[in-house]
Structure formats: structure tokens, C-alpha cells
Amino acid sequence: MHRFVGRRFITIIHVRNQMRKQPSRFSTDIADYVLAYGNHTVTTPGEYAAGCDAFVLETGFNRYEETTLEDLIKFVQYTQVMQKNEASYRKPVFFTDIPPNELFRTVGYVADGYVQSIPYVILFLAALCNPYLALGLSLPLLSMMTIPLCGYTKITDKAISYFRLTDFYSSAAYRSAVTAHKLEDFIAPEIEKRICRRPTIYIEYGAGHCDIEPYVKQSWLRDTVLGYHTITPSIITDKMYEHIVCELRPEDAALPDSLEKIILRTSEQFNREQSNPVTNWERIYYRI
């Protein structure tokens, strides 16, 4: 009896380990990418980023200048990844996200939630008038409901990432498209010049940004979404950051190649409070 229970317990643990979410791995003409489907309340395994040449992390409501190495390590989602990077990987970390404007920084996530709910209010009103119209407008909501399924199989990952394109009008889609643009047009070519080979870049955003993959792969998709958000007024995001990239890098890492795009360089120290407590890092801002 005890042997049976023991074997069954081991089988359950094995199945659970096999079902652990895995990042998506894909490539373009100029780079290989590892996209982790992050959860803001769960720590991502540090080994996901092993072997990567650069990191791109979601900063959400924080501006680049407000996000320190210590903040990244203390944030539960990035703790393992950034601890390994600070201690052994020693790779540059890029910020490409679009923070909210001053109004939404004041009222925070609550207001953002209200704004994101507007399409669903429209959906409800449309359903009262025309059920077929309601079905079409419900696609972004349905795509959002599939997000927890990301990370289990390549087929579902690809399907969900493209399904999420129905949410193209939202600030979340805009942020994904901007990140894809910065990756393909600046970060990947920059890292390739530094290391003299094809780079592998680690991306970690919340799983709701799984649409980053199709935006990276298809330039016309990201250009279309960026064009849409260029001509529409922004009531949430600070579009000034659309053309800014921030890099947080160890001072002993490979030197930047795009010197003409640098607009500011600063130095900062990180105190690890261990045998070798202080490491020196550099913060660089680029205009692209």
C-alpha cells in the first residue's frame, strides 16, 4: 500500500513538472528570442535566461529612470532571473516598455482598469442591438481569457499569441508593438555588433503580452498597430518613451556600438551585502 501511494505521488510530481510553463523560443532573420510568459506574483525560474546575450524586461507603471537593479531583484517575478544575472550572467538589461502619462500615474491601476473595461461596455451595448456585432467585439475579451493557457504547448502558444492581436487597439497591444519595434530595429542589431555573432535575447513580460511574438516576427503587423496608435489620442501612455531605450549594464560588459544614439550615461552601484558586496553598473539612454 505504501509503495503504491509513493509511486503515485512520484507520478503526480513528474506530471506537474512536465506541465510547468515553458518560455516560447522563436527566431527572426537577425536574432533568436526566448519569451517568458511572466506572472507578476510568481517567481520565474532563473535558468530560463541561461545562455542569453541580453534581457528585455517589462517595467509597467515605472519609468526607466525610476527602475533600479535593486528594484528588479526585489520584484518577485524577476528575483531569480536578476539574481543570476547580477551574480553570474552579467548581461545588459534593456527597458523598452511605455509607462503611463502623469494622469494615470496619479490614479494608478484602478483607472487603467476602468479604461480597459470600456470595450466591454461597448460589447454589452452592442449585444442589445445586434448579437453578431457583439460576437465580433467579444474577440478581445475571449483572447484575454486564453492567456493562462500560454506556456504549455507550442501550438496553443502560437494560436493564443495571434488571437491576442484582436486587442490591437489597447494600450497593452501598443506597448507590445513598441517593444517588438525596439527589439528588431535597435537592440538585436546593437547586441550583434557587440558580440560579433547572432544574438539570443531573453524577453519577459506578463503573459498578456504574448502578442510580442507575432509583432517581432511580422514587421507589417507592428507597423500597422504603431500607425494606428500614432493617429489616435493617448489617454493612458506617455508616448515620449516610444523612441527611448534604456540599458542597465555591468560596467565590465561589452561597450555600446551605437554611440551616436546615446543621450545620457550615468553610473550606479549595487550592494549585494555578501563577500563581494559592491558591483558597478552603468545606465545608458538611447534615442532611436
Question: Nearest Cα to 26, choosing from 37, 18, 34?
Answer: 34
Q: How far is CA 252 from CA 59, 210, 282, in A?
A: 24, 33, 9
d(CA 8, CA 173): 44
Q: Are 178 and 96 in contact (CB under 8 A)?
A: yes
Which pLDDT tens digit goes with each residue over 66-78?
A: 898 889 999 999 9
Place of cell 536574432: 31
pLDDT attached to residue 51 = 94
What's the confidence (pLDDT) of residue 115?
54
Cell triple for residue 114? Answer: 476602468
pLDDT digits (tens, 9 = 90+) for 235-266: 788 889 999 999 999 887 777 888 889 999 88
**How far is Cα 55 from Cα 73, in angstroms, rounded to an integer?**
14
pTM of the predicted model as reported, rounded to 2 decimal places: 0.85
Q: Which residues of the chain have pLDDT under 70?
A: 1-20, 105-128, 130-137, 271-278
* pLDDT score, position 14: 43
For the sheet containing 200-206, what is the strand order?
24-27, 32-38, 200-206, 54-57, 93-95, 244-250, 278-287, 262-271
